[in-house]
Structure 1
Amino acid sequence: MIKSLITETIEEYQQLQDENQRALRLRKEELKEKFPRLAEIEIEMKTLGIQIVKATQSNPKQIDALIHQLREKSIDLQMERSEILASNGYPVDYLELKYQCSKCQDTGYIGSKRCKCFEQRLIDKAYKQSNLHNLLEKENFDTFRMDYYSDERDNDSETSPRKNMEGILLVAINYAKDFENHNKNLFFYGSPGLGKTFLSHAIAKDVLEKGNIVLYQTASDLIDFIRNNKFDQSNNDPDPMMERIFYSDLLIIDDLGTEHLTEFAKMELFNVINKRLLKGNKMVISTNLSLRELQEKYPNRLTSRILGHFQLYKFFGEDIRLKKLANL
């Protein structure tokens, strides 16, 4: 799938460049009749450009002075054009190409490396194809309901489920809001149906909307993808998704503990988490396991990374999904 998305995205950038050129031609046509001098300036600037190129290829003794003289003329013409535009109520850059992304100038690439905007388009396409895009519209901070959580404290807890969730919700909101200004990792754990996946979706939505690259995978899907990528003999090209697993701005691993836990899975989970920690790339992980079950299920070198480098938040209370079903 990813190869077809890359091809589709490259075509979109070509269309975007064509649209930029077409829009510029229309703006030039618009002003051609009103201000004939602008068309003359454009011709003169093109002529100067040719003269500068020729100057670099001849008369080596006077080349610096000649190029300086030609560039001074070019600056004068640009200033004259800006004055005409500004005095008639147009932006001074009205006759220049407009880009959605100034970094890559809508090519999708900076040198030989894909621009961040290209990567984000791929992520958005992947989410739309996986239906996660629609899910994020339903599960976000605006739709989170605190009334599903009891405000009564039981004997095993120091606080009520609602009070506990109010604190976790605030943490999640601030995590997404200040995403560019911190280097935190979150670990959500507790019984099923308490909102861990919901809050992960909410964080993903807000961080995505800030223009960051977010990769969301269940632990099972993550391991399956890595396994297929490593052992697919027919695939000679590196999959860009592998790079995003390690280098996306945020990696969300949902349902840790549901994957088929082989030695391969243990090793790859450690590699992903450890490498991202070393690079300072943020993560949110959720699991239905208790901390004791986590330590019993996974090797110490993996759990020590989680317990030592993640902020841990326990979810407790009644299963929200059962409450929702009861209200139908």
Structure 2
Amino acid sequence: MKNLIEEINNTTSFSSRVIREYKCSKCGELIKVLELVINDKVRIANRCKVCDDKELEREAVQAYNNLQISKRERLFNDFSLISEGLKKATFDNYHPTNEELLKAKQVAKNYLNNFNRINGLLFVGDCGVGKSHLSYSICKEAREKGISSIFISVPELLTQLKSTFNKNKNYTEEDLLSVLKNVDLLVLDDIGADYPTEWAIAKFFEVINSRVGKSTIYTTNSNAKELASKVGKRNFSRMMENTQIIKMQGDDYRLKNLKK
């Protein structure tokens, strides 16, 4: 098509006539076949413009979808920090040892199946019962469904925010906070794992406050009273907006081999 346009633009003589008409077999549009005479050279124009436009639209949509997939993968890979063991976690390889943990698994799966970009979850329980396992499984499958997601522990998040003070970093604190604000699903793992400073509490509030109206999953070993004390009442109150608490009590499955 480009060469044809160039020929027309550079022509000294041009004529055209309709030599036949027919309906496109794909879309039913009436196609007029043109005989073009450009500088005494005969060209036949026999294309369906509607189908051409649809093909261009399809290619544009595919390119956009590929870009979104690439963006989701880049966000997850650049900002999620996951242990090697947790990378293997899925819903299929999580094996509950009691009814409470079985219910937690079902709630996690239902949360993903009915994802609405608003509600959150708070997994509360002992070490090793699978809080991180289930939340990471949600995070992983969300990406497969076209939902952008990031999984990061709160201690690591605070470390990352501090590291942005280093001029050699590829991104700034503003970059990191913007990503955490705008991702479809954010998992904040291991809340209350240490006793944060006032700076840490303020930064944590900045993150969760930016997540209002968005889907956020939290995990913690602390009960409600302990968590409110560690992260601050204002942070705890903000976390609980549209958030369902999932209690998980049971044996530490990471130590199960020691009991044999």
Structure 1 length-normalised TM: 0.59
**2:5 alignment partner AA:** L
**2:181 alignment partner AA:** F
1:169 pairs with 2:105:
yes
1:122 pairs with 2:74:
yes
Partner of 1:322: 255
Shift of 1:194: 1.1
Whole-angstrom CA distance in 2 between matches of 1:309 and 1:275: 14
Whole-angstrom CA distance in 2 between matches of 1:186 and 1:81: 48
Residues 236 and 250 (structure 1 numbering): CA distance in 2 closer, same or farther, change over 3 Å?
A: closer
Whole-angstrom CA distance in 2 between matches of 1:292 and 1:81: 64
Whole-angstrom CA distance in 2 between matches of 1:310 and 1:236: 34
- Secondary structure (helix, strand or coil) at the match of 1:141 reads coil
Partner of 1:257: 192
1:302 pairs with 2:254:
no
1:232 pairs with 2:189:
no
Shift of 1:200: 1.1
The answer to whether the 8 Å contact 2:117/2:184 transfers is no
**2:4 alignment partner AA:** T
Residues 323 and 101 (structure 1 numbering): CA distance in 2 closer, same or farther, change over 3 Å?
A: farther
1:104 pairs with 2:64:
yes
Shift of 1:46: 3.4
**In the TM superposition, what are the counterparts of 1:9-88 in structure 2 within 5 Å?**
42=1, 46-48=3-5, 51=8, 77-79=46-48
Shift of 1:303: 1.0
The answer to whether the 8 Å contact 1:186/1:312 transfers is yes
The answer to whether the 8 Å contact 1:185/1:284 transfers is yes
Aligned residue pairs total: 228
Shift of 1:309: 3.1
Whole-angstrom CA distance in 2 between matches of 1:122 and 1:291: 34
The answer to whether the 8 Å contact 2:101/2:250 transfers is no
**1:285 alignment partner AA:** Y
Structure 2: gaps of 5 or more residues: 11-31, 37-44
1:291 pairs with 2:224:
yes
Whole-angstrom CA distance in 1 between matches of 2:50 and 2:242: 57
Instruction: State percent identity of aligned pairs.
Output: 25
Aligned with residue 144 of structure 2, among 188, 209, 212: 209
More strand by share: 2
More helix by share: 1
- Secondary structure (helix, strand or coil) at the match of 2:105 reads helix
Shift of 1:141: 0.6
**1:232 alignment partner AA:** N
The answer to whether the 8 Å contact 1:220/1:260 transfers is no
**2:166 alignment partner AA:** D
Shift of 1:211: 2.1
Q: Deviation per CA, 1:133-189, whole angstroms, max 9, x where unpaired?
A: 8743x311111112xx2xxxxxxxxxxxx222222111100111222x352100011
Shift of 1:72: 9.7
Structure 1: gaps of 5 or more residues: 1-41, 55-70, 84-91, 109-115, 150-161
